[in-house]
Amino acid sequence: MTDYEGNLEHRRLRRAGVCTVCLAGLDRGTSVMWDRSAQTPTCLPCFAGPTVDGAGAGTAGGSAAQQADRRRAAEDEAARRHRQLPWWRRVLERPPPAAGRSAAWRKGAAGERRLGDRLDTLAARGIVTVLHDRRLAARSSANSAHIVVAAGGVWVVDAKNYRGRIEVTGRGSRLMVGGRDRTALVPGVRRQVRRVMAELRTAYPAVPVYGALCFVRAERRRGRRAQTVGNVLVTWEKDLDRRLRDPGPLDEPHRAAIQHHLARRFGPAVRVTP
């Protein structure tokens, strides 16, 4: 049994009952939201509200693609201004790069979309519920690439589209990808995890929250298992897929309720115009 806000708590029915919203019959042992004052149950689908899917679940890689477009427009404008300079200034001044930081953002968006497609496939099969590209603070650009609710808990997953071999060194304190130190990626995921935990603390305190960095194109040593750096799992697509399929205490209605709760707290980073 898990305590929620006000007089509501999550529990399994000790005897058969009827949902107070849809009037559906509920068997003994069904997970429900129980009103302690009225002593009445509400089934989890009714408590969660409409299923969050499609555009409501967010657009994988949306904010990264938007950032790439902005940077590309700025690069094009810088190139246009350089072409309009007098010839002697064009000789003296170095021309702006044809595709600078926008290319990196575009690559990152592609990685998020690739992992997002895989997560959407799991969601369509009822294995997980998922939210993409969620804004974690109202007055901040901080966002989470993917929030996944699986049977074993909630996963905050940051997708990275890097090439090269993944290595965890320094007894789990240093992350190397393609020979470059990428340890600085870890604190960002930990901050995302803390924000999600803070939103779940009142309503779903018993639900664990995990953080993961998922490298969609990087290489790994054969036979090497996924490792953690600073309590953040460093993994790849197939390994993450397997972990999300692991059994756990959260059934499908419960996963939908948690997804809906998080969707109300964390809006999409990019609004989709119909």
Residue 101: both structure tokens together? 């930081």
Mean pLDDT of all residues in 234-255: 91
**Model confidence at 272: pLDDT above 90:** no
Are the C-beta atoms of residues 121 and 241 closer than 8 Å to each other? no
Looking at mean pLDDT, say which of 9-13, 64-68, 170-174 comes out highest. Answer: 170-174
Looking at mean pLDDT, say which of 6-20, 22-36, 93-107, 246-260 comes out highest. Answer: 246-260
Q: In the prediction, which pLDDT does 116 show?
A: 86
**15 vs 269: which has the higher pLDDT:** 15
Tell me, yes or no, if the pTM score tops 0.75: no
How far, in Å, CA of 57 to CA of 73, rounded? 28
Q: In the prediction, which pLDDT does 21 show?
A: 63
Looking at mean pLDDT, say which of 77-86, 111-120, 215-224 comes out highest. Answer: 111-120
Mean pLDDT of all residues in 82-92: 74
Strand runs (DSSP E) across the chain, as ranges?
2-3, 8-12, 17-18, 25-26, 31-35, 40-43, 129-135, 143-150, 153-160, 166-169, 174-177, 180-181, 209-215, 227-229, 232-236
Reported as a single tens digit per residue, the pLDDT across 204-232 is 888 999 999 999 887 877 767 889 999 99
Give which of 234, 206, 269 is closest to 2, Cα–Cα: 206
Looking at mean pLDDT, say which of 68-72, 78-82, 113-117, 179-183 comes out highest. Answer: 179-183
Q: In the prediction, which pLDDT does 138 show?
A: 55
